[in-house]
Amino acid sequence: MPLYDRKGRCPREDAAIWNGYFMEHLSEHPKWLTPQDEADILIRYIYSLETEEEEMKNTQHDERIRTIEHFLGQKYPEKFDFKRLMKEYYEKYKGNFRGKIGETAYSRMMEAMPYMQDGESNLANYLKYKNTDALHLYSEEKKRYIVRLFDCDSSNDTCELSADIYEALWGWNLKKRQTQAGKFDVNGEAVLFGPDTMNTGATMLNEYVKKEYEFAKCSVKKLYECIVLKESGNISGDQIQKLEDIFGEFLRASGTIGNFTLVPLGFNVKRYQKVKDNWPRSLKLLSDNTKEEFNRELGCGEDNHIIWDKSLFVCYVNMTFQWEFCEFIKEYKGCEEYVSERQKEICDTLARLIERRGIFMTAMLKLATGCGCEKLKAEKNSDSAWKVTSFYKKVVDDVLMKERTRTGYAEVFEHIRKLAEREMVSDDIGRIIEEAENKLMLLA
């Protein structure tokens, strides 16, 4: 039976008896008796949980927010690896393909999903994510996959949580592909957006192995066969450990919220061909080129041109919280390529920047959804096209969508604090910002 601190009307965060069960199952705080004068009096509180029917009724009206709230209810949502959702995706849609590959193959595939084995390395989990479904779901007869393969960033509409996050932060959805956060157009032509993973682990890993271990050709499939399946290969145990030491933390971070973004529609594929998915170099393409130059650089013709112009870059950086990655370009000038003598330093820096951006994004998600702040949640933005709090809409309009680049998280938080004072929600907003600032300080 759960125990709760009875100092005030809700448990203290640092109380030893605080537990996730409370947050997950209790929709509102219990009706406490009058608090005692002395602190730290513990009580047992018995309450009935919703029945399954009542729970379904209460979740159907706003499944998106409930899903994001569950994500935000974790102690460190910025560390949550979306590769963990891969198994859930294939369980949910197993009826679409299980009969085509057979029960045995399906069971074998599910057992080989990321994070199914305790103590598995970050490298092994990443290779499982990139290969497990691809190996089982490819049809030799039809020369294609029999189902859409899971992708953390939901660029192919396979991760519902990622898509919900884009909708909450930027008012984007797959149907319209435009954002509600700011106006992006080139000569009256609206910019369409699509999801993308900023820093791609596979390309970096492949290029490094080819150069350092003198492989004529390398792929994550080959590494998967050597490292996970332990089939014949010429990678030694020491080399595998070195890859884990250099890339492990970055590969884990690559599947977290701080590595997801929106890019101009079509840029996802074309940037790989031009800069091998290198995100700093991708930002340079977005910042330096007019529409004509941009499409020429990417090899796009009239029939497949991408709507973009460098005049939009400042607003894009502010909208997608790219300030620190712009600074990364300056700091590592000359090390833009993925393979470098400073490889571990670059990987560790990218992992840290991804987590820092993830901390900021989770704070913005709380402002957008009102998670943890009932006053914000009660004042939803009246704009039916983008169901976020009125306060978050003001943050976007008054703080982010400015024609000069913000200097970073600290400046943005300071502007949000001032806005909160004017809107008389300083206490609630202050708690959200302070929590984020404390986390950012540990990763400075």
Are 140 and 193 in a shared domain?
A: no
Q: Which residues have C-beta within 8 Å of that of residue 292, sequence separation ≥ 6?
A: none
- The domain total for the chain is 3
Are 178 and 298 in a shared domain?
A: yes
What spatial distance separates the first Cα and last Cα of the chain, rounded to whole Å?
40
CB atoms within 10 A of CB 305: 16
Lowest model confidence (mean pLDDT) among 166-180, 186-200, 369-383: 369-383
Choose the final residue of a domain: 22, 43, 77. Answer: 77
User: From residue 380, how far is each of 114, 289, 331 by CA, in Å?
Assistant: 38, 38, 41
Nearest alpha carbon to residue 395 among 414, 382, 378, 377: 414
Are 305 and 235 in a shared domain?
A: no
Domain range for 33: 3-77
Are 389 and 440 in a shared domain?
A: yes
Are 88 and 130 in a shared domain?
A: yes
Is the residue at 10 inside a domain?
yes
Are 340 and 428 in a shared domain?
A: yes
Q: Is the pLDDT of residue 379 over 50?
A: yes
Is the residue at 258 inside a domain?
no
Q: Is the pLDDT of residue 57 over 50?
A: no
Choose the final residue of a domain: 218, 253, 288. Answer: 253
Nearest alpha carbon to residue 122 among 441, 347, 442: 347
Q: How high is the pLDDT of residue 183?
A: 86
Q: How high is the pLDDT of residue 404?
A: 84
Are 98 and 205 in a shared domain?
A: yes
Is the residue at 392 inside a domain?
yes
Q: How high is the pLDDT of residue 381?
A: 59
Per-residue confidence at 336, pLDDT binned at 50, 70, 90?
Answer: low
Choose the final residue of a domain: 45, 77, 109. Answer: 77
Q: What is the mean pLDDT of residues 276-285?
A: 90
Is the residue at 297 inside a domain?
yes
Are 274 and 352 in a shared domain?
A: yes
Per-residue confidence at 275, pLDDT binned at 50, 70, 90?
Answer: confident
Is the residue at 259 inside a domain?
no
Are 291 and 422 in a shared domain?
A: yes
Please, which residues bridge with residue 389 across strands?
A: 380
Is the residue at 260 inside a domain?
no
DSSP string across 98-165: HHHH-HHHHHHHHHTSTT-STT--HHHHHHHHHHHHHHHSEETTTTEESSPPP-TT-TTS--HHHHHH
Per-residue confidence at 278, pLDDT binned at 50, 70, 90?
Answer: confident
Question: pTM score > 0.85 for this model?
Answer: no
Is the residue at 261 inside a domain?
no
Are 393 and 316 in a shared domain?
A: yes
Q: How high is the pLDDT of residue 29?
A: 46
Query: What is the SS3 assignment for 236?
Result: coil
Per-residue confidence at 33, pLDDT binned at 50, 70, 90?
Answer: very low
Are 329 and 390 in a shared domain?
A: yes
Are 68 and 172 in a shared domain?
A: no
DSSP string across 248-308: HHHHHHTTSGGGEEEEETTHHHHHHHHHTT-HHHHHHHHHH--HHHHHHHHT--GGG----
Q: What is the pLDDT of residues 394-428, one digit of tens each?
A: 999 999 998 888 999 999 999 999 999 999 888 88
Chain centroid, CA 203 distance in Å:
19
Per-residue confidence at 442, pLDDT binned at 50, 70, 90?
Answer: very high
Is the residue at 100 inside a domain?
yes
Q: What is the mean pLDDT of residues 238-259?
A: 96
